[in-house]
C-alpha cells in the first residue's frame, strides 16, 4: 500500500518538468522534433519502437478493411516510421504533420524510397483537407484516400479531435476508410509514467524529453471516438483493443506496451 502511494511523490517532479513546455501545441511539437537526436529502438523518440511488430498486428485490419487501390494519408506522421512501412501495401503514402521539423526528419529518413511523400499540414485547421488534396494531386492521385492515424488523437484536446475528424470526412469520400490506433491507458498521469518506467529516482530519457516538451497526453477509446467521430457522420466498421509499443525503456531490448484502442471508420 505504502509503495503504491509512494509513486505519487513523483507528481511534483512531473509538474515541474512539464511547466516549461510551450503552451501552443504546434510550437511544442515543432520544437520537440527540431531537438530530438536519433530515432528507433535506441533513439530519443518515446513512441518509436524501432520494430514493425505493432504494425504487423494492424495489417490484418488494414488489408481486410481498406481499399488497397487508394492512396493512404498518415496523419501526424512524425518521423515517418509508419508511412514507410505502409508503402508496401498502398500505391502511395502521404505523411502529413503539423511540425515542419517532423516532415524534414521524415523526408530525410525516407530518402530514396518510392511511393512516399510528405507535407507539413495542421490537420485541425479548416484548410487541412484542401492541403492534403493538393499534396496528393502533386503525387498524381485525385479522389478518395484512406487515412492512417497512430498516436495522434490522444495528444489533442477534445475540440481539436473533432476538428481533425471533420477534416478527414471529405478526404475519405465513399471508398476511403480511416484506421486509427490510439493510446487508451486507464489511469492518471502518475500511473501512466510509472507504467513506462518512471520512478522517484529516475525517468527514462525519451519519456523525460516528452514530459518536458510536449502537451500532456490523454486517452482515446470508445467514448472519445464517439464524440470526435459522431454517428451522424461516421459508421464504425470495426473496433477493439490493440497494443501500442514504445521504444524499450525498462530493459534494453523489449518495447514497453501501452493498452490502446483501434477503429476502422467509414464516412456516412
Ligand atoms: C505521438 S506522435 C506520433 C507520430 C507517428 N504517428 C508515430 O506513431 O510514429 C504525434 C504526432 O502528431 C503530430 N501532430 C500533433 N498535432 C497535429 C496536428 N494538428 N496536425 C498534424 N499533426 C499533428 C505531432 O507533430 C507528432 O508528430
Provide the residue ranges of all domains of the chain, joining segments of one domain with +: 2-267
Distance 236 CA to ligand 1 centre (A): 23
**Coil/strand/helix, residue 116:** strand
Q: How far apart are CA 125 and CA 132, in angstroms?
A: 12
Three-class SS state of 238: strand
Direct distance between the N- and C-terminal alpha carbons of the chain, in angstroms, rounded to an integer: 50
- Main-chain phi, psi angles of 201, to 5 degrees: -95, -30
Is 168 a residue whose pLDDT tops 80?
yes
pLDDT of residue 5: 74
The answer, yes or no, to whether residue 146 has pLDDT greater than 70, is yes
Q: Look up cell 528507433; give the residue.
A: 40
Mean pLDDT of the chain: 96
Q: Would you say 200 and 193 are in contact if contact means Cβ atoms under 8 Å apart? A: no
8 pLDDT tier (thresholds 50, 70, 90): confident
For residue 202, report the distance from its CA to the centre of ligand 1, in Å.
26
Measured in Å, residue 68 CA sits from the centre of ligand 1 at: 24
Three state DSSP letters for 60-105: HHHHHHCCCCCCEEEECCCCCHHHHHHCCCCCCEEEEECCHHHHHH
- Cell numbers standing for residue 164: 481533425
Stretch 178-183: mean pLDDT: 98
The answer, yes or no, to whether residue 207 has pLDDT greater than 90, is yes
Res 1: pLDDT: 53
Query: Which whole-number Å values give the CA distances from 105 to 118, 158, 199, in the listed order?
Result: 10, 28, 31
Atom of ligand 1 nearest to the CA of 30: 25
C-beta separation of 96 from 121 below 8 A: yes
Closest CA to 33 of 89, 108, 84, 93: 108
Give residue 78 CA to ligand 1 midpoint distance, Å. 5
Residue nearest atom 4 in ligand 1 by C-alpha distance: 78
Q: Domain spanning 2-267: which superfamily?
A: Vaccinia Virus protein VP39 (3.40.50.150)
Q: Which residues contact 161 (CB under 8 A, 6 or more apart)?
A: 153, 220, 224, 227, 228
pLDDT, average across residues 181-197: 95
Strand-pairing partners, residue 245, are 257
**Closest to 225 measured CA to CA, from 178, 170, 171:** 178
Residue nearest atom 8 in ligand 1 by C-alpha distance? 150
| Position 57 confidence tier, pLDDT thresholds 50, 70, 90 | very high
pLDDT tens, position by position, 72-120: 999 999 999 999 999 999 999 999 999 999 999 999 999 999 999 999 9
With the most atoms of ligand 1 within 8 angstroms of its CB, the residue from 21, 40, 97 to mutate is 97
Higher pLDDT, 235 or 200: 235
Average pLDDT on 200-225 reads 95
pLDDT score of 2 more than 60: no
Amino acid at each position: 500500500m505504502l509503495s503504491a502511494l509512494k509513486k505519487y511523490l513523483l507528481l511534483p517532479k512531473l509538474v515541474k518538468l512539464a511547466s516549461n513546455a510551450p503552451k501552443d501545441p504546434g510550437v511544442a511539437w515543432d520544437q520537440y522534433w527540431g531537438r530530438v537526436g536519433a530515432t528507433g529502438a535506441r533513439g530519443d523518440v518515446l513512441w518509436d519502437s524501432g520494430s514493425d511488430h505493432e504494425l504487423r498486428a494492424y495489417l490484418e485490419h488494414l488489408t481486410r478493411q481498406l481499399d488497397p487501390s487508394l492512396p493512404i494519408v498518415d496523419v501526424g506522421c512524425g518521423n515517418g516510421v509508419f508511412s514507410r512501412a505502409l508503402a508496401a501495401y498502398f500505391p502511395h503514402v502521404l505523411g502529413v504533420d503539423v511540425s515542419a521539423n517532423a516532415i524534414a526528419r521524415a523526408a530525410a529518413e525516407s530518402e530514396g524510397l518510392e511511393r512516399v511523400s510528405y507535407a507539413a499540414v495542421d490537420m485541425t485547421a479548416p484548410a487541412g483537407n484542401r492541403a492534403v488534396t493538393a499534396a496528393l494531386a502533386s503525387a498524381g492521385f485525385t479522389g478518395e484516400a484512406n487515412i492512417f492515424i497512430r498516436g495522434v488523437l490522444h495528444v489533442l484536446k477534445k475540440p481539436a479531435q473533432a476538428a481533425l475528424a471533420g477534416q478527414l470526412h471529405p478526404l475519405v469520400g465513399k471508398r476511403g476508410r480511416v484506421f486509427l490506433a490510439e493510446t487508451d491507458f486507464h489511469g492518471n498521469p502518475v500511473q501512466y509514467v510509472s507504467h513506462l518506467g518512471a520512478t522517484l529516482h529516475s525517468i527514462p530519457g525519451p519519456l523525460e524529453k516528452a514530459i518536458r516538451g510536449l502537451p500532456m497526453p490523454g486517452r482515446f477509446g470508445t467514448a472519445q471516438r464517439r464524440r470526435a467521430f459522431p454517428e451522424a457522420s461516421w459508421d464504425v466498421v470495426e473496433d477493439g483493443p490493440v497494443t501500442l509499443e514504445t521504444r524499450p525503456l525498462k530493459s534494453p531490448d523489449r518495447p514497453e506496451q501501452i493498452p490502446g484502442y483501434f477503429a476502422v471508420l467509414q464516412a456516412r
